[in-house]
């Protein structure tokens, strides 16, 4: 599967990229929303993993919602965030296929990628 990773923490992006690659996926990191949107529009993706911005304390803000909605035009989006509110939100309420809380188990993230990728291939 081809996975786009929107993550501003370059160390975490590298770990996730390396792990997904070792599991047979093609993973490409994007350090900011602009780069992610450019890559999303120029390539075919099965899944996008996206971090929420630091300004999303307490709830997901409108700017992040817009970014996720734009990315979702290209591939199902998995929100990966350490924000406490994310544990109490249904993914569909914020326009994503899944939410994975940070810190996350890499194999739990892999399961979310596989699940979201299957949804994307089914056209859901």
What is residue 124's predicted lDDT score, i.e. its pLDDT?
45
CATH number of 32-122: 3.40.50.2300
- Give the separation between CA 102 and CA 45, rounded to whole angstroms: 23
Instruction: Specify the pTM.
Output: 0.89
- Give the separation between CA 98 and CA 77, rounded to whole angstroms: 7
- Give the separation between CA 111 and CA 118, rounded to whole angstroms: 11
pLDDT averaged over consecutive 10-residue blocks of the chain (124 residues)?
94 96 96 95 95 67 87 94 83 89 89 82 51
């Amino acid at each position: 599967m081809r996975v786009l990773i929107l993550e501003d923490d370059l160390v975490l992006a590298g770990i996730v990229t390396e792990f997904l690659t070792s599991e047979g996926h093609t993973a490409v990191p994007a350090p900011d929303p602009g780069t992610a949107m450019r890559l999303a529009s120029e390539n075919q993706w099965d899944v996008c993993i996206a971090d929420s911005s630091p300004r999303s304390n307490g709830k997901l803000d409108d700017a992040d919602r817009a970014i996720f909605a734009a990315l979702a035009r290209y591939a199902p989006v998995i929100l990966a965030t350490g924000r406490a509110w994310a544990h109490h939100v249904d993914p569909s309420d914020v326009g994503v296929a899944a939410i994975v809380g940070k810190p996350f188990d890499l194999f739990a993230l892999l399961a979310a990628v596989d699940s979201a990728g299957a949804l994307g291939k089914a056209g859901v």
